[in-house]
Amino acid sequence: MEAVVVDAGSKLLKAGPAVPDQAPSMIIPTQMKRMPEDGSLPENSLGEDIVVDPVVRGYIRDWDAMEDLLHHVLYTGLGWEMGNEGQILFTDPLCTPKAVREQLVQLMFETFNISGFYASEQAVLSLYAVGRISGCTVDIGHGKIDIAPVIEGAVQHIASRRLEIGGVDLTKLLAQELSKSNPGVNLNLSDVEKLKEKFSCCAEDEVAYAKIFNSHDVEEKHTLPDGQVIKIGREKYTVGEALFQPSILGLEAHGIVEQLVRSVTPVSSENHKQLLENTVLCGGTSSMDGFEDRFQREAGLCSSAIRPALVKPPEYMPENLTLYSAWVGGAILAKVVFPQNQHVTKADYDETGPSIVHRKCF
């Protein structure tokens, strides 16, 4: 039985047997709906389920919900049988707290009775997916942006950066901008999320953005599912621009390319070229129209002597690799760690307990 790879993001969970040149067989929302445990409904709920987010800004926050979600994924989605569970590899977000890693390995061995466990950091796995062991990853997820230099398969934590903004914040920004230009239109966030995925894009550079921002020529009409008609134009460029000018979001921070260049500063200068010239973009937001071109244009303008350059995915890899590169890297790694017995076994866990995960999984 193939090992299963699970990449649980704040918005989407990717899971499937470890087959590296294929997309994950399950890509489902991480957010769940469930009834209150006592069966009662809160006042004014009109019989609606409660919405639960098991993963918030990359980290597991609701363990009961996570257990329910994994039960559905493993037994219903992937066809595991009770009493005949297999091996599993999880992707770890940058700087996952030790307690979270320990609780996950405990859940997997004690509740799911798995035969083997491994976890590896998403930044390392995203590089594996494009055939690298050293480089930088810029992971723009739903709840956070992680920038991580990696040397010889090891994340340089001293140099890593986490920005507490992500796709969800860009959705809220788009909602604000659309409500200004469409007064009286009632927008809900799930509709805005769909609009963002369909329309948002990046201007060529700051000058082009400034021109667009002062123009009404880019407007087009769109009908919402409830029949309301809205105008959307320059707002769709503001979403992408916020990644290069975080002041749009009210943040005093450098743009994403400058953040990347600054992140390698603590690392020995002899590694800067290898790191920056093997940059990998990943996360759903990085697939926005024009984002890659704008990123490369900004890289060409940056003050650094060594300029970032993007690694192109190999042609044999599945399309849209940026959306699940950590999962693909996990599938590649699973083909190594489990056959070579580098993983945490049930015997290891029984002997040492959850702390074994720090010794065996780097």
Number of domains into which the chain is organized: 2
Beta bridge partners of 16: 5
Pairing between strand 116-121 and 87-92? parallel
Residue pair 33/45 in contact (Cβ under 8 Å)? The answer is no
Q: Is 13's pLDDT higher than 80?
A: yes
pLDDT of residue 201: 95
Which tens digits make up the pLDDT trace of 230-284?
999 999 999 999 999 999 999 999 999 999 999 999 999 999 999 999 999 999 9
Amino acid at 178: L
Q: Is 42's pLDDT higher than 80?
A: no
Residue 268 domain-assigned (yes or no): no
Residue 83 domain-assigned (yes or no): yes
Distance CA 147, CA 279 (A): 10
pLDDT of residue 38: 55
Residue pair 267/278 in contact (Cβ under 8 Å)? The answer is no
Distance CA 142, CA 319 (A): 20
Same domain, 14 and 117: yes
Same domain, 51 and 113: yes
Final residue before a domain boundary, out of 188, 212, 246: 246
What is the share, in percent, of the chain residues with pLDDT greater than 70? Answer: 96
Residue pair 73/6 in contact (Cβ under 8 Å)? The answer is yes
Neighbours of 175 (CB within 10 A): 19
Distance CA 44, CA 50 (A): 12
Closest residue by Cα to residue 265 from 146, 158, 132? 158
Residue 305 domain-assigned (yes or no): no
Residue 107 phi/psi, 5-degree rounding, is: -60, -45
Same domain, 102 and 179: no
Which tens digits make up the pLDDT trace of 151-185?
999 999 999 999 888 999 999 999 999 999 999 89
Distance CA 8, CA 32 (A): 13
Residue 203 domain-assigned (yes or no): yes
CATH number at residue 186: 3.90.640.10
Same domain, 184 and 88: no
How is residue 225 written in tokens? Answer: 């599912």
State the pLDDT confidence band at 359, using cuts at 50, 70 and 90: very high
Same domain, 94 and 180: no
pLDDT of residue 36: 61
pLDDT of residue 1: 81
3-state secondary structure the chain: CCCEEEEECCCEEEEEECCCCCCCCEEEECCEEECCCCCCCCCCCCCCCEEECCEECCEECCHHHHHHHHHHHHHHHCCCCCCCCCEEEEEECCCCCHHHHHHHHHHHHHCCCCCEEEEEEHHHHHHHHCCCCCEEEEEECCCCEEEEEEECCEECHHHCEEECCCHHHHHHHHHHHHHHHCCCCCCCHHHHHHHHHHHCECCCCHHHHHHHHCCCCCCEEEECCCCCEEEECCHHHHHHHHHHCHHHHCCCCCCHHHHHHHHCCCCCHHHHHHHHCCEEEECHHHHCECHHHHHHHHHHHCCCCCCCCECCCCCCCCCCHHHCHHHHHHHHHHHHHCCCCCCEEHHHHHHHCCCHHHHHCC
Which tens digits make up the pLDDT trace of 149-159?
999 999 999 99
Residue 58 domain-assigned (yes or no): yes
Final residue before a domain boundary, out of 246, 266, 300: 246
Range of the domain at 195: 167-246
Amino acid at 302: C
> Using CA of residue 158, residue 95, residue 88, residue 115, what is the dihedral sign?
positive
Distance CA 215, CA 221 (A): 16
Distance CA 191, CA 201 (A): 17
Same domain, 103 and 18: yes
Residue 208 domain-assigned (yes or no): yes
Same domain, 111 and 213: no
Same domain, 75 and 180: no
Same domain, 196 and 95: no
Beta bridge partners of 155: 150
Q: Over the chain, what is the mean pLDDT?
A: 92
Same domain, 111 and 186: no
Residue 130 domain-assigned (yes or no): no
pLDDT of residue 315: 87
How is residue 356 written in tokens? Answer: 């074994």
Final residue before a domain boundary, out of 185, 220, 246: 246
Same domain, 176 and 113: no
Residue 101 domain-assigned (yes or no): yes
Same domain, 179 and 70: no
CATH number at residue 13: 3.30.420.40
Which tens digits make up the pLDDT trace of 48-105?
678 899 999 889 999 999 999 999 999 999 999 999 999 999 999 998 999 999 999 9
